[in-house]
Structure 1
Amino acid sequence: MFRPAALALVALSAACATPRADKVSFEEAFGSASTSPPADAALPAPVRRPKRMLAAPGAELPSARKSLELEAALAFFVDQARAYRRQVERGSPMTSSQVQNWEQINGALDAFLERPAAKTSSLDVVRARVTLESELAEDARTYGDIPPELAEAVMSRVSLLAVRMTEVRGLLVKSSRQAPRLSWPIEPVSVTSHFGERVHPIKGEVRDHLGVDLAARRGQAIAAAAPGVVLRAGWNGAHGYSVEVQHAERVLTRYSHLSRVLVETGEILERGDVLGLAGDTGLATGVHLHFELWEDGQPIDPLDGMGSPQEALAGDGTVSRR
């Protein structure tokens, strides 16, 4: 059987975890299900510099069409899920009816994701992702056991929805197709944990680390690696305060465990603009920056994508992508 904390195996939620002896909650293990920071977390500082915002943030592509089928499927799924939860005692195994309910919404999402990005409504993507995350979190609090294959299937759709949102926003931004020149977001650069497989400090299992950890001082300025548009800025569960920036159409960077966020969603950044301050929010072993580099919807090793810090310092501080 499956305990909710095991959802941490999902690569999407892989962050720099803090080893400790007590049990890990669902919200900690599955960061993206958490929509609010803990009560004692530092609040993001207000933006204190002039901002350039993406024109008409939240606007839809001219070719985008709202999916009435998805809207109806999500509404039915939520109504059924809430009804099934009312019928069981907390801690009971997930019922077969709720398992079937999840399977049906997964099928509806598969049909929705067959749409090309240019015809996808960003509002549909947001609604679907929020629904999956919130309902899975409610199920984790209600049911004592969740089938592991079901949890993995749901999180697979969450990952695909995140990739689709990046594709849609990339089309909205109308960025250059030319890959950007990237610079390291912090100086000096000292890698304390590398990309790839490592032993999870809480679960003791081999997991994928989707970025690199860079040594930092508390409150040290974190800079945008290249020009781009802020896709997400704020609390992101296990990642703590986090910022995601879209560069060109193919490249995205993520900056996690910040103590403060200094940008807003839709803000246009230049290389070197300060987007936040280093910290240890979320699941972190201490103050550092967790830095991820994504290309075409896949995480890549920043040391492969940007070269070593020494190589960058030998030139102009930037590395051109392919």
Structure 2
Amino acid sequence: MPRCLAALSLLVLTACATSHTEKVSFEEAFAARPESLEPPPSLTKVPVRRKPKAAAAPGKDLPTASISPELQAALASFVNRAREYRRTVQRGSAMPDDQVENWGDVTGALDDFLDRPAAKTSSLDIVRARVTLEAELEEDARTYGDIPAELAESVMGRVGQLSARMSEVRRLMVQTVREVPRFTWPLFPVYVTSDFGEREHPIKGELRDHLGVDLSAKRGQAILSAAPGVVLRAGWNGSHGYQVEVQHASRIYTRYSHLSRVLVEPGEILERGDVLGLAGDTGMATGVHLHFELWKDGQPMNPLDELGQPTEAVVVGESPAQPPKKHQGRRPSGRRP
């Protein structure tokens, strides 16, 4: 019985850790500061619940991807045998050796499937495999009084590998998009406190290229994704503090720096306007604000050129002491993120 509880605990923990994945039934799935600064210990990632999205919807795979008939056959055979074994035992009995062998067969088929390159992997296969593993392990936990702990750990390890593979496929899908997306400002109202271009660094006092724009923000204000995309990086990045980087199309991405909280994970798919973090002053910053960058083809772009002048000039409820300074100098060149 303790082993059964351990397996159920593993299942529950995994479900919590993967709350961004849309749940699908088995039947539905088979139906058609300086750079060396360390992150402040008090500022940790806070999970956020948002409506799950099918990031890599079945039927919208990469051109190089294809359904694996071998995996489909292995999953169907595994489910049929598992259900038959459960019908022949009394609830609370130990898992029969035949079912242990059945699990070994399906995990072996999954290992062969995961040997495929990500570019040739169908997202529908990933969804089917993950739904099958989670559903059948849960049914076994309800039926049998004892599940080998090593078996449960092995199955949940494959679930983690399938999650990682889905993230790889998502990134590849975004990288194949060629059209330039429509961008919107990542917060509102918009008040530009420091423009794009050459400026005097507010802390070091040196002339430096400012690779984005600084936007006034209140501490804890929601920061939004400027366009649909996939999260490439989310976490601490030296003088940028807590930072999120989102890729929107082939060689087009945005960066959001000095956040107080990060609310997304690498590989997560975002729609325009989804909250990705909260405004703060982490890293090398003189006050609470958002540093926002837009990169195309390896070069920083002026967000004002792409998004247009903001319709609002002053933050609601506040009256800036001075109008925004304009430092529209030369465009930074040859810089890499």
TM-score normalised per structure 2: 0.47
TM-score normalised per structure 1: 0.49
Higher RCO (Cα < 8 Å, 6 or more apart): 1
